[in-house]
A and B are shown apart, each in its own frame.
Chain A
Amino acid sequence: MTTSRAERAFNYTVLAIFSVIAAFPLLGVVWLGLRVRTTDVMGIPVPTGASFGAIAEAWQRGHFATYLTNSAFVVVVVVLVAVLLSILAGYALGTMDLPGGNALFYLFLLGLMVPTEALVIPLFFDLRSFGLDNSFPGLILPQIAQSLSFGTFWMRAYFRSVPGSLIEAARMDGAGSWTTLWRVLVPVGRPAVVTMIVLIFMWTWNEFLLALVIMGSREDLRTAPLGLSFFQGQFVSDYDLLAAGAGIVALPVMVVYVFLQRHFIAGMLSGALKE
């Protein structure tokens, strides 16, 4: 089929305009955060220099070293445990014909539709009665539970897509269900596992409401987004510092996104798909 030059030009124009809209605020952060200096050349501001001054100042005054470390710790534990448990549960629900397996699956699926807003208040009081408020386990365990919904849904879908002959061949070779899972199915399913890892990483890193409620009164345990929120309350109109802080908090996820964007997009768009 032929498409006219005009049609193609229209397409690129639309995409370019919306790309600029999407990128503009983020470029603004870089511009402010790096304190770009400009001189006017015939009325057009041309960048002549930049500095890491604002980033260094925000880093120090916002205690971002502590907050990023806290976030990294929380993310690593949540991802490791949630991924391990999701693979195990998804394997059983996807390949083994368990009585009641479907009911269990829908029970996990329910969590995909339960927003944090409906959980956070009872969670806070439950955790407090066990002395787990304002502690890492108190923030980590609920996030593992929330991640298990997507994880189990996602891994079950992968395990169901594996040809039965592959599992059968492993069984013929004398592999038990445990060996079949880790020696055959997980290595073959690496793309699915990677998608799950990056999504749980992003959701956990970006989580705000849970962190606010559970870590609200322990400044030294704040995660990066929570730290940024308090930081912006403190430096209301120092936009270069705020931009630097926002950049620091957003950067880790954006770096991973640039390399693995396919996984992010595929996973986030299919998370909404029900069977």
Chain B
Amino acid sequence: MSATTGPRPDEESAARATTATASVREAARPSGARPPGAPRRIGYLYVLPALLVYAAFLLWPLLHGAWISLYAWDGLSVGTFVGLANYVEVFTDEELRASLGHALFLVLFYAVLPCLIGFVLVAAMSRARVRGLTFFRTVLFLPQVVAMVAVAVIWKWIYAADGPLNAVLGLVGLDRAWLGDFTFALPAIGLIGTWVEIGLVMVLFMAGVQKIPMELYDAARVDGAGPVREFLTVTLPGLRRELSVALTLTTVAALRNFDLVWNTTGGGPGTNTRVPAYQVYNQAFSEGEVGLACAIGLVIAAGVFAFNVGLTRLVEGRR
């Protein structure tokens, strides 16, 4: 039932906008001999339907969340205004601070490690053009399009007590219950992140390297530059933009890894793999701290924003 009634309000508003657009156009035509590029009020009608949905289901919840984050609220009774106390708690509460630490630790695995490996490899590859690039690109990028829940299921098998990883490491006595281990659970999740992101990074860098003019390499060689000088003077500056994009995308992925944590360890063992994204759900629905959950959500958003702006400026050297 609700399935068929669901989208209707939307289609109606779109349809209404359509007819409204048409009638406005009719009305505007007699005086419509405007020079091209002049302000055209009809444009607002084109933006309106999108803006309404966007305002109601993205901007409003964002503001509402900021409002809720100023309250101590369990989601049921009347909340009490507490000012910025929830934000203070995010950074002072021992468990929540540990969660932030876990997120930063995961950035190493999601962003730094793939970019380091990818950069060195692609730089080393830069001096030769590769055939069959489309095939390699398709395979390397594949982990990016698989649902994270499916990725989690696959890796739980790989990390399982009787899984393929332990089958290999067991030969040298290094097998353990990876995702249940207090020391290794978080790095184990991190390595899944590395697996997901490294393909993206390599695809990005390979595309960037192809755009560096061959003449620059020829010139460097004529000048007698070795591989290291060549890397520093040609490849590195040529890949600045790609490095900035890669770091941004992978860092954001590291900050928003609810799906992976929820479906591999559920935050355990103990609280050892609880990350801020997990705490948003946990605080709201298990601890009854809805205001705190909203504050954590906004701290994640601020982190995403800061990384986006900061990394772009830093790596690309803008302003």
Tell me the A residues contacting B by CB distance below 8 Å: 1, 3, 7-8, 10-12, 14-15, 18-19, 21-23, 25-26, 28-29, 32, 73, 77, 81, 84-86, 88-89, 91-93, 96-99, 101, 104, 107-108, 111, 113-126, 135-137, 140-142, 144-146, 148-149, 151-152, 164, 167-168, 171, 176-178, 202, 205-206, 208-209, 212-213, 224-226, 228-229, 232, 237, 239, 242-243, 245-247, 249-250, 253-254, 257-258, 261, 264-265, 268-269, 272-274
Contact A225 to B36, CB < 8 A, known contacts A12-B130, A178-B25:
no
Cβ distance B191 to chain A, nearest Cβ, rounded Å: 11
Report how far A152 CA is from B203 CA in the complex, Å. 25
Contact A243 to B46, CB < 8 A, known contacts A14-B121, A142-B58, A229-B263:
no
Cβ distance B247 to chain A, nearest Cβ, rounded Å: 10
Beyond contacts A120-B297, A121-B294, A209-B259: 11 other A-B pairs, Cβ-Cβ < 8 A, are: A98-B47, A116-B256, A126-B60, A136-B7, A141-B10, A144-B53, A144-B57, A202-B145, A212-B281, A232-B156, A265-B203
CB pair B153–A243 under 8 Å, yes or no, is yes
Residues from chain B with a CB closer than 8 A to the CB of A257 are 138, 142, 145
Which of B88-96, B169-177, B182-190, B299-307 touches A?
Answer: B299-307
Is residue B113 contacting chain A, with contact meaning CB distance below 8 A? no
Report how far A99 CA is from B47 CA in the complex, Å. 13
Contact check: which of B11, B195, B305 meets A22 at CB < 8 Å?
Answer: B195
Residues from chain A with a CB closer than 8 A to the CB of B199 are 18, 22
Is residue B51 contacting chain A, with contact meaning CB distance below 8 A? yes
Which of B37-45, B104-112, B232-240 touches A?
Answer: B37-45
CB pair B304–A272 under 8 Å, yes or no, is no
CB pair A85–B157 under 8 Å, yes or no, is no
Residues from chain A with a CB closer than 8 A to the CB of B312 are 274
**Interface-centre pick from A73, A120, A152 (highest chain B CB count, 10 A):** A120
Interface residues in B189-205 by Cβ distance below 8 A to A read 195, 198-200, 202-204
Residues from chain A with a CB closer than 8 A to the CB of B49 are 85, 88-89
Contact check: which of B47, B68, B124, B202 meets A89 at CB < 8 Å?
Answer: B47
CB pair B293–A121 under 8 Å, yes or no, is yes
Residues from chain B with a CB closer than 8 A to the CB of A104 are 47, 51
Cβ distance B250 to chain A, nearest Cβ, rounded Å: 10
Is residue B228 contacting chain A, with contact meaning CB distance below 8 A? no
Residues from chain A with a CB closer than 8 A to the CB of B68 are 121-122, 125
- Can you list the 9 inter-chain pairs with the closest CB atoms, starting with the nearest? A145-B57, A92-B46, A96-B43, A89-B50, A3-B128, A92-B43, A122-B65, A118-B301, A118-B297
CB pair B6–A253 under 8 Å, yes or no, is no
CB pair A264–B141 under 8 Å, yes or no, is yes
Contact check: which of B25, B263, B294 meets A176 at CB < 8 Å?
Answer: B25
CB pair A113–B308 under 8 Å, yes or no, is yes
**Interface-centre pick from B217, B256, B280 (highest chain A CB count, 10 A):** B280
Tell me the B residues contacting A by CB distance below 8 Å: 2-3, 5-7, 9-11, 14, 17, 21-22, 25, 29, 36-40, 42-47, 49-51, 53-54, 56-62, 64-65, 68, 75, 121, 124-125, 127-130, 134, 136-158, 160, 163-164, 195, 198-200, 202-204, 207, 214, 217-218, 245, 248-249, 252, 255-256, 258-259, 262-263, 276-277, 280-281, 284-285, 290, 293-294, 296-298, 300-301, 304-305, 308, 312
Residues from chain A with a CB closer than 8 A to the CB of B127 are 1, 3, 7
Cβ distance B214 to chain A, nearest Cβ, rounded Å: 5
CB pair B139–A23 under 8 Å, yes or no, is yes
- A-B CB contact pairs (8 Å), 12 listed: A18-B202, A26-B154, A91-B46, A119-B65, A121-B293, A122-B62, A135-B2, A136-B3, A178-B21, A212-B262, A225-B147, A229-B262
**Interface-centre pick from B29, B75, B156, B297 (highest chain A CB count, 10 A):** B297
Residues from chain B with a CB closer than 8 A to the CB of A237 are 160
CB pair A22–B155 under 8 Å, yes or no, is no
CB pair B258–A10 under 8 Å, yes or no, is no
